A and B are shown apart, each in its own frame.
Chain A
Amino acid sequence: MKHGFRQSMAWLHTWTGLLVGWLLLLIFMGGTASYYKQEISRWMRPELPLAAVDRDVALGSAEHYLREHAGDALSWNITLPDERAQVIEMYWMNPTPPEGASRRAAYGSATVDPRSGEEVAARDTTGGEFLYRLHFDLHYIPAIWARYIVGFCAMFMLVAIITGVITHKKIFKEFFTFRPGKGQRSWLDFHNVSAVLALPYHALITYTGIITLVFMYLPWGLSARYPSDEMRYYDESGNRIVDMREASGTPAPLLPLETLLASARRDLGGAAIENVAVNRPGDSTATVTFSAQPAALSKLAPSVMYDGVHGKLLERSPPPGGASQTYGVLYGLHMAHFADPALRLLFFVCGLLGCLMVASGAVLWAAKERPKHLKAGRIGFGLRLVDALNIGAIAGLPIAFASYFWANRLLPLGIEGRADWEANTFFLAWGAALLAAFVWPKRQMWAWQLYAGAALFGLIPLLNALTTGIHLGVTLPAGLWSLAGVDLVCLALGLCLGVAARRMQRWQPPLSAAQRRARAMAATESTHRPAPVGAGEGA
């Protein structure tokens, strides 16, 4: 086919990158934003009080809420707040209704304020969770389909990364090379730099991303080794304690969860508790499982299970084997749960670099294709399509992300399905950008959309000040960095987009050799000194 290994890898790199690049941008941008999903969620619920929450009362509040609103549930699952998330997330499994009774959703969920024990008294919003789910569940389509699509794209990305390294002959020689202002050469330099300087990150985030959903993608080993009882795998892998017992049908009062909390902390070696799961609350076979917060890189953490009626320790999760530990570390590396503020910022920067890498790759392809089409006299269908998608995704997605935040501040508080409408705004804005890009895929459209993104992001701090009480004027003096950070990052993104927009607008096409000679001749005639012919930058 193509001559030579490197050339065939170069071809593969181009097409694996280009075909899924625009969807990958959505995934990467959503994932990068997710590093701060708790902070974004907090920012999008400005009604919440500013004081930090006492985590010890959280379990009691959670239980109170569940007993009241999900008393007949088959199971409860509570995620306790930590330093970054100030709310309790919980979900429960509803019992299947008897014949003839009205249908119920299989699962219920709530976000509860630990202080009040009630659902957070803030505007109806999905917050940062929307951006997090966006990057693997997409939206509007069943989650299973979305995860297959995202997994497919991630595999394409993994191949693109490997082939990129193979193709980049001068990976060490050109490690420090970035030459701006030279057209196609600069785009290639930038694509190389954004890829190579964060190569460990790009390779790992892609591989570990696939690993987080690997049970969906490659389940065959599991079904081959555990042909009749797959659940036993979860029990044995040190992943989590599985409680599959049937309900006895005999009601028995569930012990208050707080009474078990002290035992759990002790039995888990003093670790902080992250998750509490109750199976069959109210039944005599009820059990309560406490999971510790992961301590280091690995996402795996020990858990202990108690009898829910008598409080006796029933089971302790087994120590994880080597493969489980590896899997735990890979999973943890993707989630970055261990990252302190400094490391989290580094992850965020690497994520942004990943977006820029994908974006510059797509732009580079178009820049390389364009001379052939200009020679032929008209832009072919393929290039026009790529130009439109580039504008709509690279410049359009920032518009969508910013619009999500604008919707959070501007949508009326009481409307039905407000959280859904915030998500709809994201896609309406993105759709508008894509449509505009398809109508007029020219340089000017790039500039307009980049300016739009710059304005939408850059004005968020102002919008915040006009609509809420948690704007920079309040959060900076109070030292509330996680809230101020959202405004500041939006401002920074706005500035970057503005600079990009300005450069797009003022770009001049490089002069041809003949034009350069004419200019040089004109300069010679005016100064009576010989000027070097053919000097100047090549495009």
Chain B
Amino acid sequence: MSLASAMTDAAALAWYRRPWLGVLSRSLAAIFGGYALASASAVVLALLPVAPSQAVLTGMMVGVLVCACAALWAFAAASAWRAWAGLVVPTLLLFAIAWLQQGAA
């Protein structure tokens, strides 16, 4: 189903149901949500109780992959809401873990 025909069908929909809004929402989720999740992963991995320099490097190398996967999730999720939830919730969880890690250190 091309975007053009989808938009014709959608002409009758309310503004917040228009397809392009879903695409925009997912794109923002992929970019900003993805970066946030990548950063959170990098921080949690960096705070692992192993040699500091090694933990930091591991976090960075894994973080890049997390960002790519987040982009895939944002567009594979069943709805734009799910896309955001699937990125924001793990990000908050990871940041919470990081906060606990730093408290313990």
CA distance in complex: A321, B56 (Å): 12
**Given contacts A324-B57, A327-B57, A210 and B64 within 8 Å (CB-CB):** yes
Cβ contact of B61, chosen from A12, A226, A323, cutoff 8 A: A323
Cβ proximity bits B42-53 to A, threshold 8 Å, 1 near / 0 not: 110111000111
CA distance in complex: A207, B52 (Å): 23
Q: Does B59 contact A (CB under 8 A)?
A: yes
**Given contacts A1-B19, A2-B1, A225 and B47 within 8 Å (CB-CB):** yes
CA distance in complex: A224, B38 (Å): 14
Stretch at the interface among A108-116, A214-222, A421-429: A214-222
Q: Does B100 contact A (CB under 8 A)?
A: no
Whether the pair B53, A236 counts as a contact (CB closer than 8 A) is: yes
* Residue on A nearest B2 in the bound complex, by CB: A372
Cβ proximity bits A172-186 to B, threshold 8 Å, 1 near / 0 not: 000000000000000
Chain A residue numbers with a CB within 8 Å of B39 are: 218, 220
Whether the pair A163, B47 counts as a contact (CB closer than 8 A) is: no
CA distance in complex: A443, B55 (Å): 54
- Most B-side CB within 10 Å, residue of A222, A224, A237, A321: A224
Whether the pair A12, B71 counts as a contact (CB closer than 8 A) is: yes
Cβ contact of B56, chosen from A12, A159, A233, cutoff 8 A: A233
Which B62-105 residues sit within 8 Å CB-CB of chain A?
Answer: 63-65, 67-68, 71-72, 75-76, 79-80, 98, 102
CA distance in complex: A217, B65 (Å): 13
Whether the pair A214, B61 counts as a contact (CB closer than 8 A) is: yes
Chain B residue numbers with a CB within 8 Å of A162 are: 68, 72
**Given contacts A1-B19, A221-B43, A221-B46, A8 and B76 within 8 Å (CB-CB):** yes
Whether the pair A218, B42 counts as a contact (CB closer than 8 A) is: yes
CA distance in complex: A5, B22 (Å): 16
Chain B residue numbers with a CB within 8 Å of A261 are: none
Chain A residue numbers with a CB within 8 Å of B75 are: 1-2, 8-9, 11-12
* Residue on A nearest B40 in the bound complex, by CB: A220
Q: Does A266 contact B (CB under 8 A)?
A: no
**Given contacts A8-B76, A225-B52, A226-B52, A214 and B23 within 8 Å (CB-CB):** no
CA distance in complex: A19, B57 (Å): 31
Q: Does A288 contact B (CB under 8 A)?
A: no
Task: Give A contacts to B, CB under 8 Å.
Answer: 1-3, 5, 8-9, 11-12, 16, 155, 158-159, 162-163, 166, 207, 210-211, 214-215, 217-218, 220-222, 224-226, 233, 236-238, 321-324, 326-327, 330
Chain B residue numbers with a CB within 8 Å of A163 are: 72
Cβ proximity bits B1-22 to A, threshold 8 Å, 1 near / 0 not: 1000000000000000001001
Chain B residue numbers with a CB within 8 Å of A321 are: 51, 53-54
CA distance in complex: A238, B56 (Å): 13
CA distance in complex: A159, B80 (Å): 19
Chain A residue numbers with a CB within 8 Å of B58 are: 323
Chain B residue numbers with a CB within 8 Å of A233 are: 52-53, 56
Chain B residue numbers with a CB within 8 Å of A207 are: 64-65
Instruction: Give the 4 A-B CB pairs with smallest separation, nearest first.
Output: A221-B46, A221-B59, A237-B53, A323-B57
- Most A-side CB within 10 Å, residue of B46, B64, B102: B64
* Residue on B nearest A4 in the bound complex, by CB: B76
Whether the pair A218, B52 counts as a contact (CB closer than 8 A) is: no
Residues of B in contact with A, size category: 35 or more
Whether the pair A220, B43 counts as a contact (CB closer than 8 A) is: yes
CB distance from B9 to the nearest CB of A (A): 13
CB distance from B35 to the nearest CB of A (A): 9
CB distance from A426 to the nearest CB of B (A): 30
Task: Give B contacts to A, CB under 8 Å.
Answer: 1, 19, 22-23, 26, 38-39, 42-43, 45-47, 51-61, 63-65, 67-68, 71-72, 75-76, 79-80, 98, 102
Whether the pair B68, A155 counts as a contact (CB closer than 8 A) is: yes
Chain A residue numbers with a CB within 8 Å of B63 are: 214, 218, 221
**Given contacts A207-B64, A224-B102, A323-B57, A9 and B72 within 8 Å (CB-CB):** yes
CA distance in complex: A8, B55 (Å): 35
Chain B residue numbers with a CB within 8 Å of A8 are: 75-76
CB distance from A80 to the nearest CB of B (A): 28
Cβ contact of B51, chosen from A215, A221, A222, A236, cutoff 8 A: A236
Cβ contact of A220, chosen from B42, B52, B54, cutoff 8 A: B42
A-B contact pairs, 20 of them (CB 8 A): A1-B80, A9-B75, A159-B72, A207-B65, A211-B60, A218-B63, A218-B64, A220-B46, A221-B47, A221-B55, A221-B63, A222-B56, A224-B43, A224-B47, A226-B52, A233-B56, A323-B57, A324-B57, A327-B61, A330-B61
Whether the pair A224, B98 counts as a contact (CB closer than 8 A) is: yes
